[in-house]
Amino acid sequence: MMSRRQGLSIGLVLIALITGGCTKLYTELPPPPVVVAPEPVLVFIPESEGILDYFYGIQHWQLEDVNSHLSELEKAYATQPDEALRLRLAIVLGFGRCAECKPARAMNLFKEVRDTADDGASVVLADLCIDLLEARSSIAATNKQLVKEQQIVKELQQKLNALTLIEESLHQRE
């Protein structure tokens, strides 16, 4: 027959082996690389230059430039809510880098463009922007879940370490 102490020791070893095998499944992600963007130049892009150039350019503007441009677009859109201004406002709100940029509002504006645009290119661009915003949202949610799971793994590792210490102290008493 096995003594209670031996049974406890075997149980602790089994728990350690079971939980220890899971620790290799999760690894900490390295920090993302730091990318330094070149100094962008703020240039008003006329309608003839194309909305894609505007989309690309807005992502490289400085915070102050985006904020001032956003307020100008808001004022212009409030007085004359046409398709071109709606599309530009949606691009700034969805892809600009500023505190006032709101992807949820941008999503609604892109959906309005998609539903009301006469131009097929605007509809396609709005659909692509909607897909991109949804993908970014999904990635952010997945990243948040990953951080939670990494915290759980750390807590389990601490518990395993505590169990290991208890087991070692039991062996020292014998």
Task: Report pLDDT digits (tens) over 93-129.
Answer: 888 887 777 888 899 999 988 888 877 778 888 899 9
Mean pLDDT of the chain: 78
More confident of the two residues 81 and 12: 81
Could you tell me the pTM of the whole model? 0.57
Quickly list DSSP for the chain.
Answer: ---HHHHHHHHHHHHHHHHHHHTTT--PPPPPPP-PPP--------GGG-HHHHHHHHTTS-HHHHHHHHHHHHHHHHH---HHHHHHHHHHHHHS-STT--HHHHHHHHHHHHHH-S-HHHHHHHHHHHHHHHHHHHHHHHHHHHHHHHHHHHHHHHHHHHHHHHHHHHHHH-
Distances (CA, A) of 71 to 19, 68, 125: 55, 5, 23
Do you know the residue count of the chain?
174
Measured between its terminal Cα atoms, the distance across the chain in Å is: 18
More confident of the two residues 47 and 8: 8
Domain boundaries, the chain: 1-26+150-174, 46-141
Would you place residue 13 in the very low, low, confident or very high pLDDT band (cuts 50, 70, 90)?
low
